[in-house]
Amino acid sequence: MTQTLLSLGHGYSAQALARRALQHGWRIIGTTRSPEKAAALAAEGVEPLIWPGAPLAPALAQATHILASIAPGPEGDPVLNAHAAEIAAARPAWVGYLSTTGVYGDHAGGWVDEETALTPSTLRGQQRVLAEAQWQALSQSAGLPLHIFRLAGIYGPGRGPFAKVRNRTARRILKPGQVFSRIHVEDIAATLEASMLRPHPGRIYNVCDDDPAPPEAVIAHAAHLLGLPEPPAEDWDTAEMTPMARSFYAESKRVRNDRIKTELGLRLRYPSFRDGLAALLAAGDFTDDEV
């Protein structure tokens, strides 16, 4: 029987998983909003499905695995709000929901794990808490084998700091005590793949590396790798930033990842941003999204 992954919101992390699955003969159905992106997915071997628009029931009926990663809105998960009954009628072997470590809120640089109370301070985090609860409720009522993955800040090919450091637009914004956890996209894909092989319905996993660090440390290290001077420091209190950018500094925490190692047997390929940045540089990846 061909394994079929239905990827609801076939974005950056899902694409990394799909590349692995396609190598093992999986069939991948990925939803997207635009015909242009649909054409790009088809070129990669993914069967595109325009959603909202096309019916999901046929794909749900064929899916052995379902991955949901569409960002929630004020009413929670848009797929569940439109297709909860159809999803409840599906009988997949595994369901994954991609959430965020933002659900934990601010811990002033302290450590959190999967048992930490959810106290998000940002709207995005609050919407993720709602969406998680919706998926958990449907899982309990319909018997779906749900797994929740709380992702730290994502980086990887196409999402690194080197271009901004090279063209002198990178910013080293200092906020005392600020620290983030991160994860390379290939380690996200490896975590999802490991969970598919060893399902544990109802489980929640933090997906992050071993090296929480201040954001300015990443920029400084990227500059060092390029042999360039560090960008000048800017004080967070007075730096000009968009509301979105400033919101990322509203929460500071270190995220524990023991569970993906002990339960899924995962060995991180990039346990630190230093390993990840070195790999991006070696691959000549100079794209301009910051980690």
pLDDT, tens digit, 9 for 90 and up, residues 229-249: 999 999 989 989 888 888 888
Question: What proportion of the chain, given as a percentage, has pLDDT over 70?
Answer: 97
Residue 241 pLDDT: 87
pTM of the model: 0.95
- SS3 of the chain: CCCEEEEECCCHHHHHHHHHHHHCCCEEEEEECCHHHHHHHHHCCCEEEECCCCCCHHHHHHCCEEEECCCCECCECHHHHHHHHHHHHCCCCEEEEEEEHHHHCCCCCCEECCCCCCCCCCHHHHHHHHHHHHHHHHHHHHCCCEEEEEECEEEECCECCHHHHHCCCCCEEECCCCCECEEEHHHHHHHHHHHHHCCCCCCEEEECCCCCECHHHHHHHHHHHHCCCCCCEEECCCCCCCHHHHHCCCCCCEECCHHHHHCCCCCCCCCCHHHHHHHHHHCCCCCCCCC
User: How confident is the model over 136-161, as pLDDT tens digits?
Assistant: 999 999 999 999 999 999 999 988 89
Residue 291 pLDDT: 46
Fold of 4-156+183-210+256-269: Rossmann fold (3.40.50)
Instruction: Indicate whether 288 pLDDT > 60.
Output: no
